[in-house]
Structure 1
């Protein structure tokens, strides 16, 4: 039963996918192949051509709309699809096996006994029992292969044709097809070859040779298609990467606009508060002046009223002689009105209004940049051996707070600077001889703000204050007979996996944070000035300065791409390399001479996007700040580039 279910499922799948005509949605009948390799029933194609102009000598495929020329002999001249016919026969056979699970009982047609029939005669299409069949066979002298088992059969199908069975020529029906004419692209028989295809411009070959050549050509074409598929995948991956980068850029631009909006709003609010405070202060000062004048006038009036009241009281109650005695004093007090002058205020002091200005316009807020542009935001350091000076600023790293660490390979020291380039400290706080740096080169920072420095054969670990924590040695065992190692480039991915380049042992090793080995990638092209980076796509990118190459491999060591950076078509030497969060690659290149060098931008597949900066002195190691600025070590100085 399980086998029967399997057959049913298989035939159902074949029926819907392979052997149903797209026009009539039934099993193919005499399937014909168009030039586009789509198949249709002969009758279905005939109905299509009957509906079109009789003068039209083409048929348009209902599936893909491609044209196929109708042969001179009509649609019957189209190639038949023998494979489909054979496949349909196989399906019918499977369905017959399914029906054999519960065979019907057939009665013998040669006797009156009603015995069960076990076999059938193909010639007369009758079912017989064993005895009747033997008698019938002797009478008809039919051959043994014409007798087939009839139990459970609703029909008898002729024996499947051998797929290698020869076919007859259509023109010379008594001749077998034995040659193929590559010139005419036709199968031909011996007579056709002699009479119609023997000219010097006809290329005849035996069918087996022709089919071998045909298969080789198909294999080559399919191989080219595989190459096209690989190219398509690369292009598609590149487009997806560009889409992701675009979305990241859009998101960042929106965040920047909102940040600028908040910044301007903050400025406006601050200006508003300042104006409000000023208006309040002016109102208070003027109000206090008004109150002071008003109080002074009230005091004067109050004193005058007191004098008038006293005089009135005296005039009403004092005698004649007393009034005359007090006359000089009374008249003197009544002279106050000559001095009684009230202060007034300037009515202009009661006016205060606000007139708004257009302090924010589109131009003030910012502009949309549709092309990548960078500018030097900060530059610090100079040639020398003092604090904040460099002789060979080789590599840079950045902590989460923006502090910058620079390695000087000649002075064998580390220097720390603020995010604005202000000098902080030099050297490493050492307690033992192991703490000291002897051959510092590459430097990077983990997500926990641990500083990793390649130093000869060891990777040394420091905290943000450059205090020594520990060290580990990536290459413990001999590699190809080389007992010593010399570590150069170092990088950390977003999972804090550490990649270290060893230029003497010619390998890149991957480690956990405690130094344990994850894997080792052997590369014969690792050289002394190898800089290294790890992208978010689990790829290692390193520079090959001497061969002018930028190489990318995956974590298994499989090469992803190998490109030659160039300026105006001329190969240049790649120095430093780093990757952004989107997986894009930035490479500092040296083309000879100071002030002529550049930083190039590539996508994750190695496609050149553009030039980030020109006119640099000698750019070496690079890294990104937490805010997206690009830090570049330039031998004698360090530049911080800001994306506009």
Structure 2
């Protein structure tokens, strides 16, 4: 069997000059190559980076001072020196204690008196003449000088191949560098093109917006001018009338009996002026103007101005049932500041939440305690900071935005359980809570903590149920189911106005918009005949908002001005078009 090659003088020399790290002066451990082709231990480079300041992002070679960029993943991501690692492995193998020579020698280890003469390619060993004659007769033997010559030629050939590889690498790297620079130029140019197009589009949209705003302002100014002209004409007529009245009053005070009787016919004729006073009115429709944005916006068309108030169904959701997003008797609705909708189902004794577009979100409340459970929910309202108020039997329960129970209060503190029936709840802009008590025939005003502000007694008109709303001008509006009347009170309990529907109509739900106008739902006895009507704070009727509704009950406005209507088995969202 052929013997393993032993370390030679050359191998030992290589081990000292090539396999030691210039920093730690020990054999390389996980050697890494820098851009300048100098190699160092990975650990040494990591320590060097820490000393040189890692924030710079570069390693400065301690040999030549050339900079090498630190990879994103750190020093460990630098190129490995596989050649050095392989050479170190060979040296370690040669340093086996059992084969390590005590002195350097070119003598044959088997025949001490013989010089090493040739290299046996078959066994990959250096042999002397005797070894060649005795053990390697049929092997391929090459004289050492010729073998070294061939080895040098092979090394030179491989190095030339590497030179070609290096040239190819440089060509590829230059190509990548050029592509990178070109790409960056194209990215910058494309970004500039997009920004220019954006600015062009924005300029067109802004111009269209400006034209629309100018037109809205123009329409508003024209109508206000018309309103002022009519008001001025009416005031002039009234001024003439006031002058006549003043003159007659003066005459009646200062003239004697004879003079009065002498002027009787003239005075009485002048007093008929009021028959000729015809005051002009303005069309209520001219107090409305709106905007409808288009879903698809073109270069110069973002929407249209609405000069007449018309309503249509925007969305409808829900159906009869007891599943998610279904209702048995949806009696009222409320709306959070982000547009999310809460629906109160009286028969299922629960609340359901939906998005502003009618997509189902959740059902039920997170009660935490027995008090938080709903036993008989009938009406809901939302405060300015998105607290949900729920009428539940004789109590008002408060929940947060996620329908987690917070607290409750009882408007009729002195009433025995079961004797008080709450019919409606509403909140004004100052977060004052109004609650109608159908049994006691009162409307009570409360602070947010439930403490009482005032109590308004109105035995004649508070019935059961008693839907309730609060307008922006501090008016309490409620409907009487039995007397078919809508009543408007101020906060002192004085009746400001009322509106009678007339039999066989039934007034049910009521709500107010930001301008203080009143919207009331009417039912004519059979399903599919429901309507919603619009009137001002004084009770003047303006018109019908919607017809043919299944069974309109409670109503609320959204922050964007849409009207949400609970219709027993579904909920409709109406909007102006």
Q: TM-score, normalised by structure 1?
A: 0.46
For 1:398 and 1:457, the matched residues in 2 are separated by 23
The aligned counterpart of 1:505 is 440
Within a 5 Å distance, the mapping from 1:178-577 to structure 2 comes to 249-250=288-289, 253=290, 256=291, 267-268=298-299, 366-478=303-415, 484-524=419-459, 525-566=461-502, 571-577=504-510
Give the superposed CA RMSD: 3.8
Q: CA offsets per residue over residues 6-63 of structure 1, 9 Å max, x none?
A: xxxxxxxxxxxxxxxxxxxxxxxxxxxxxxxxxxxxxxxxxxxxxxxxxxxxxxxxx8
The alpha carbon displacement at 1:370 in A equals 3.7
Please state if 1:597 is matched with 2:533.
no
Contact 2:469 2:477 in 1 (8 A): yes
The residue that corresponds to 2:511 in the other structure is: 578
C-alpha separation between the residues in 1 aligned to 2:444 and 2:526? 34
Q: How many Å separate the matches in 1 of 2:380 and 2:571?
A: 15
Say whether the 8 Å CA contact 1:543–1:574 is kept in structure 2: yes
Cα distance, 1:477–1:84 mapped onto 2, change above 3 Å: same
Q: Secondary structure at the match of 1:431?
A: coil
Distance 1:560 1:83 in 2: 36
1:558/1:368 Cα in 2 relative to 1: closer, same or farther (>3 Å)?
Answer: same
1:512-553 per-position Cα deviation (integer Å, ceiling 9, x unaligned): 111111100112232222110000111111111111111111
CA displacement at 1:597 relative to structure 2: 1.2
Going from structure 1 to structure 2, the CA distance change for 1:365 and 1:81 (only over 3 Å counts) comes to closer
Distance 1:81 1:447 in 2: 59
1:157-187 C-alpha deviation (Å, 9 max, x unpaired):
xxxxxx9xxx9x99xxxxxxxxx999x969x
Q: Unaligned 5+ residue runs, structure 1?
A: 1-62, 69-79, 86-162, 171-179, 187-216, 269-359
* Cα displacement string for residues 403-455 of structure 1 (whole angstroms, at most 9, x for unaligned residues): 10000111110000111111111110111110001110110000000000011
CA contact (8 A) 2:504 2:525 kept: no
How far the C-alpha of 1:82 sits from its partner, in A, is 9.6
Q: Deviation of residue 618 (structure 1)?
A: 0.2
Q: Residues of 1 paired with 2:575 and 2:495: CA distance?
A: 32
Question: What is the match of residue 156 of structure 2?
Answer: none
- Distance in 1, Cα, partners of 2:490 & 2:529: 33
SS at match of 1:434: helix
Contact in 1 for aligned 2:498/2:538 (Cα 8 Å): no
Residues 441 and 483 of structure 1: CA distance in aligned 2, closer, same or farther (over 3 Å): closer
Q: What's the offset of the Cα at 1:482?
A: 10
Instruction: Provide the residue aligned with 2:66 in structure 1.
Output: none
2:82 equivalent in structure 1: none
Partners of 2:319 and 2:325 within 8 A in 1? yes
For this pair of structures, how many residues does the alignment match?
326
Equivalent-residue separation in structure 2 for 1:572 and 1:618 (angstroms): 12
Q: State the SS of the aligned residue for 2:324.
A: coil
The whole-number CA distance in structure 2 between the counterparts of 1:483 and 1:594 is 32
Pair 1:475–1:610, CA change in 2 (3 A): same
1:12-31 aligned within 5 A: none
Cα distance in 2, alignment partners of residues 82 and 616 from structure 1: 61
Residues 518 and 547 (structure 1), Cα distance of their counterparts in 2 relative to 1, 3 Å cut: same
Q: Secondary structure of the residue that 2:371 maps to in structure 1?
A: helix
Q: Judging changes above 3 Å, is the alpha-carbon distance between structure 1 residues 519 and 368 closer, same or farther for their aligned structure 2 residues? A: same
Residue 545 of structure 2 corresponds to which residue in structure 1? Answer: 612
How much does 1:477 deviate?
2.5
The 8 Å contact of residues 346 and 376 in structure 2, kept in 1 or not, is answered as yes
Where 1:536 maps in the other structure, the secondary structure is coil
Q: Is the 8 A contact 1:564 1:571 kept in 2?
A: no
SS at match of 1:605: coil
Q: 2 CA distance for matches of 1:634 and 1:490?
A: 18
- The 8 Å contact of residues 564 and 572 in structure 1, kept in 2 or not, is answered as no
Question: 1:462 touches 1:470 (CA, 8 Å); kept in 2?
Answer: yes
Deviation at 1:367, TM superposition (A): 4.8
Task: State the Cα distance separating 1:582 from its structure 2 match.
Answer: 0.0
2: CA distance between counterparts of 1:422 and 1:477? Answer: 42
Residue 355 of structure 1 is matched in structure 2 by none
Q: What CA distance in whole angstroms lies between the structure 2 residues aligned with 1:440 and 1:576?
A: 16
Paired residues for 1:73-112 under 5 Å: 84=254
Deviation at 1:371, TM superposition (A): 2.9
1:54-106 deviation digits (Å, cap 9, x = unpaired):
xxxxxxxxx87xx99xxxxxxxxxxx969659xxxxxxxxxxxxxxxxxxxxx
> How far off its partner does 1:386 sit?
1.3
